[in-house]
Amino acid sequence: MDISQHPYAELLRKEMMPNIWCSGCRIGRIKNAFIEAVQHQGYNPDKCAVVSGIGCSSRIAGYLNLDGIHSTHGRAIPTALGVKLADPELMVTVMGGDGDILGIGGNHFLALGRHGKDLNIICMNNYGYSMTGFQHGPTTPFGAKTVTTSGGNPYAPLNPIAVALAAGYTFVARSTSSHPYHLVDCLVSAMNNKGPSFIEVLVPCMLFERRNKIKSLDALFLEKATIKETLSQADIHQNAFSEEISLGVFRDSQIPDRPAPAFAKAVKKKAGKKPRVTFKSKDSGIDYMQIRMEGTGGQGIVQGGKTMINAAMNMDPKLNSTLIKRYGPEMKGGSCLTDIVLSSQPVDYPFVEIPDLLIMMSGLITKERGGKVIVNENGTVVIDESTVDLSLLDDLADTVKIFKVPATQIARENFRVVVANNVMMGFVCKTTSIIDKNCIKAAIVKSAPPGTEEMNLAAFEKGYEL
């Protein structure tokens, strides 16, 4: 008979035959069961993709005449997930062994249950790493002999069904290669399930048989395994061949509804309308200016810097600017600074070397630097006298303009401490008049968290009126 007349010919790559599997291996039956299931479902083969990892069973992907990826060891599940995300129309199946899916790819196996995407995972459990000569793997039975456990496996085996159930797979079943009709049934049900499906298929490996003096695992599966309509907690258990093996579907449930991706955005909209501040843009006449705002984390140093640069952009849209923030790993309490460079030319070096305007909300950075305040001789220092030790300013040149304001104290007494940066900003605006008042107010509205605009503006006005 010509091979093209074979009922599976449409889904097989003839040029890849004969396959690489050992005689006595039953992985081929699982491949055939998969083809039966696809044909039974009437899927368009162009819309079926198979992704596999590395190992004996992973070679199935190469023998199927479908879109297939033979990926790296253990990474079949994430690769398949990528395919599914790029084209949700596809029926994507992962073929892999126990070492591939449960060993090196264990983390991906767990995560898929959580992600809940519609992938079918077929895990062919042959109790070890066969392709490399049969080393022990995650499912090797206790006491079993392998190349790397010649005295018997001292490690307890992992139960794939228990893990899949715990990980949240919506379809979980166990079958064997010796029960092909049951296997096809399981595959069909897995394909119909809309969530992540997991089938553990027990499959004999002759390397394992030989080393453990088992005559035929195929026969043992037929002898010990029973297909059950309903399964109980006790049926999950299976880690020795001397015991009964329960086959069947452990779970076949609906995937729960999940929030749509744009959820986070919708909540924000409820926060209400932002107050409008109108401002006029003009040529600022700034040629090159370095501004530094420094303090401790949690004082709104980065936010204050953002307000400053947004305000500068409002005032003169042609102005070039950069903003760089520096802070340690801790979010609150560590030293923190924001560097802003405003320039009529493109800004090259984005750090402030000698600030023309220094806004100090704490003395922490200066103290870390050895107590020296760095500022341009003809520059300006605006200092929060409620938080900074004023003696730090003693060494400054007489030409430096110094303005003091108890910004944090004012914020604490009138509003909340978090708006101290805007009290400061109001005071800076009044004393330095670098940037127009309304430009700053518009910037505050833009960057303030929804619902807090009014308080931030009031803080700014308070600072401005001082």
| Burial grade of 466 (CB within 10 A; 0-12, 13-18, 19 or more) | middle
Bridge partner list, 294: 337, 360
Q: Which is nearer to another protein, 148 or 281 (CB)?
A: 281
Q: How far is the CB of 332 from another protein (least distance, A)?
A: 15
Q: How far is the CB of 98 from another protein (least distance, A)?
A: 19
Q: How far is the CB of 8 from another protein (least distance, A)?
A: 15
Q: Which is nearer to another protein, 347 or 458 (CB)?
A: 347
Amino acid at 411: A
The residues of the shown chain that bind another protein, judged by CB under 8 A, are 13, 15-16, 45-47, 49, 51, 61-62, 65-72, 75, 77-83, 85-87, 89-90, 107-108, 110-111, 115, 261-262, 264-265, 306, 309-310, 313, 317, 320-325, 327-329, 347-351, 353
Q: How far is the CB of 143 from another protein (least distance, A)?
A: 32
Rounded-to-integer distance, Cα 160 and Cα 167, Å: 10
Q: Which is nearer to another protein, 72 or 192 (CB)?
A: 72
Rounded-to-integer distance, Cα 414 and Cα 71, Å: 62
Q: How far is the CB of 337 from another protein (least distance, A)?
A: 13
SS3 181: helix
Q: Which is nearer to another protein, 9 or 85 (CB)?
A: 85
Q: Which is nearer to another protein, 28 or 45 (CB)?
A: 45
Q: Which is nearer to another protein, 1 or 267 (CB)?
A: 267
**How far is the CA of 218 from the CAs of 17, 34, 221, 259, 272, in angstroms?**
24, 19, 5, 46, 68
Q: How far is the CB of 403 from another protein (least distance, A)?
A: 26
CB 400 within 8 A of CB 375: yes
Q: How far is the CB of 12 from another protein (least distance, A)?
A: 11
Q: Which is nearer to another protein, 234 or 264 (CB)?
A: 264
Rounded-to-integer distance, Cα 279 and Cα 310, Å: 12
Q: How far is the CB of 410 from another protein (least distance, A)?
A: 28
What is the token pair recorded at 60? 């199935």
SS3 106: helix
Which residues have a Cβ under 8 Å from the Cβ of 265 and sit 6 or more positions away?
A: none
CB 80 within 8 A of CB 48: no
- Cis, bond preceding 18 (omega within 30 deg of 0): yes
Q: Which residue stretches of 254-350 are H helix?
A: 263-269, 301-315
Amino acid at 432: T
Q: Which is nearer to another protein, 341 or 360 (CB)?
A: 341
| Burial grade of 346 (CB within 10 A; 0-12, 13-18, 19 or more) | exposed
| Cβ atoms within 10 Å, residue 338 | 25
